Amino acid sequence: MNKGLLKDGLIKIAAGIVLLGVLLFLPAGTLAWPNGWMLMVLLFVPMFIAGIVMYFKAPELLRSRLKAKETQSDQKDVIRWSGLMFIAAFVLAGLNYRFGWIRMPRWAVVLGAVIFLLAYAMFGEVLRENEYLSRTIEVREGQKVVDTGLYGIVRHPMYSATVFLFLSMPLVLGSILSFAVMLLYLPIIAKRIRGEEKVLEKELEGYAEYKQKVRSRLIPHIW
């Protein structure tokens, strides 16, 4: 067992819990916010389970996702804008709860939780299908085009999963204002996909042919 890898994973999760907790509950002005705790559980319990599974079944994949750092300047901008979007959405959700601006109906919160879990399951399936999956735009030695399963439907199923994940978070938090902020993720991820495909088409053998075979990038028959 690689105790260093396990330690890094636990530190990342702990840091995420603290950061998200601050972004949610500090603006909310209280810890007694059910929707905030619901999101914390939905996000970090499956993340912990997935991390344990990767630790035992695919440690190299876990290591690459923990250590990866984006090197391309335009993609660094994508990461920065995404970070600002998350901060704004979570803080706004907390303030919305604190001051009672606009409350979403209970069914919308439940729907958001269901979509979130389904998207998480989709993300897990993408991890299972693609052993080359990375948090950064890169082509590794020996990498091959994956064109089966979800990759036979859209070229970037991981990003499809993140769209559903991120857009369902504001629903779980009961904040339509945060949902409006999260919609900014669509142009952000579109920019990242365009940059990623330029790299893959140039450096990954067979990717140009794969693009002709699977036409949709993110959503079947739409884009």
In a domain, 158, yes or no: yes
Q: What is the full DSSP assignment across 110-177? A: HHHHHHHHHHHHHHHHHHHH-TT--SSS---TT-----SGGGGT-S-HHHHHHHHHHHHHHHHHT-HH
- Read off the pLDDT band of 52 (50, 70, 90): confident
- Backbone angles phi and psi of 57, in degrees to 5: -100, -35
Opening angle at CA 31, ends 26 and 32, nearest 5: 135
In a domain, 222, yes or no: no
63 has a pLDDT exceeding 80: no
In a domain, 220, yes or no: no
- Read off the pLDDT band of 195 (50, 70, 90): confident
Q: What is the mean pLDDT of the chain?
A: 87
Q: Cα–Cα distance between 218 and 191 in angstroms, integer? A: 12
Give the tens place of pLDDT for each residue, 204-220: 888 889 999 999 999 99
In a domain, 138, yes or no: yes
pLDDT of residue 50: 82
Among 6-10, 44-48, 62-66, the range with the most confident prediction by mean pLDDT is: 44-48
Give the tens place of pLDDT for each residue, 116-152: 999 999 988 888 887 666 655 556 666 788 888 899 9
Query: Which candidate, 34, 111, 39, places its Cα nearest to that of 16?
Result: 39
In a domain, 21, yes or no: yes
Supply the CATH number for residue 86's domain: 1.20.120.1630
Q: In terms of pLDDT, which residue wins out, 83 or 70?
A: 83
Domain range for 194: 3-213
